[in-house]
Amino acid sequence: MSAAALPLWAEATVAALALLGAGIALVGSLGLLRLPTYFERVHAPAIIATLGLWCIMHASIVYFSVLGRSLALHPLLIALFIAITVPVTNIFLMRAALFRARRAGQAVPPNLSRKAAPEVRDS
């Protein structure tokens, strides 16, 4: 069995996009390791899962479209599901961490809401 060869332009495009996506994932992983607090670290995986994913998704679309001689959009569905679920999961994790830190009496980032609840003071 011989594997179908891609044209040079397609190989270069797929390689560049895959390397760019991997590089972005590496930078996000380093941010996850190096940032000091949970509230700063929570953004690094979101960057990995969005920008890095979109580069890998475009590489997959080019690869499978050229290999199959028709437009392959199945990687787009995967990217769409990830793009929808990552921010929602990130919000839930951040809210849970804020709740837990407030209950423990730890310093948390300030509330940026316009209608912030008034502070309760013990008398």
Q: Dump pLDDT digits (tens) for 3-62.
A: 668 899 999 999 999 999 999 988 888 888 888 888 788 877 777 778 888 999 999 999
d(CA 86, CA 54): 13
Question: What is the predicted pLDDT for the residue at 18?
Answer: 96
Q: Which of 15-24, 40-49, 66-75, 99-108 has the lowest mean pLDDT?
A: 40-49
Assign 108 to helix, strand or coil: coil
∠ Cα 45 51 58 (to 5°): 135
Is residue 27 one of the residues assigned to a domain?
Answer: yes
Residue whose C-alpha is closest to residue 57's, from 31, 32, 20 = 20
d(CA 60, CA 54): 10
The chain-wide mean pLDDT, for the chain, equals 84
Is residue 12 one of the residues assigned to a domain?
Answer: yes
Question: What is the predicted pLDDT for the residue at 2?
Answer: 46
User: How many of the other CB atoms lie within 10 Å of CB of 16?
Assistant: 14
Tell me the mean pLDDT in the region 92-112: 85
d(CA 62, CA 17): 10
d(CA 10, CA 12): 5
Reply yes or no on whether the pLDDT at 116 is more than 60. Answer: no
Q: How many domains does the chain have?
A: 1
Domain that holds residue 72: 8-103
Is residue 77 one of the residues assigned to a domain?
Answer: yes
d(CA 21, CA 52): 4
Is residue 108 one of the residues assigned to a domain?
Answer: no
Q: Which of 2-6, 44-48, 72-76, 119-123 has the lowest mean pLDDT?
A: 119-123
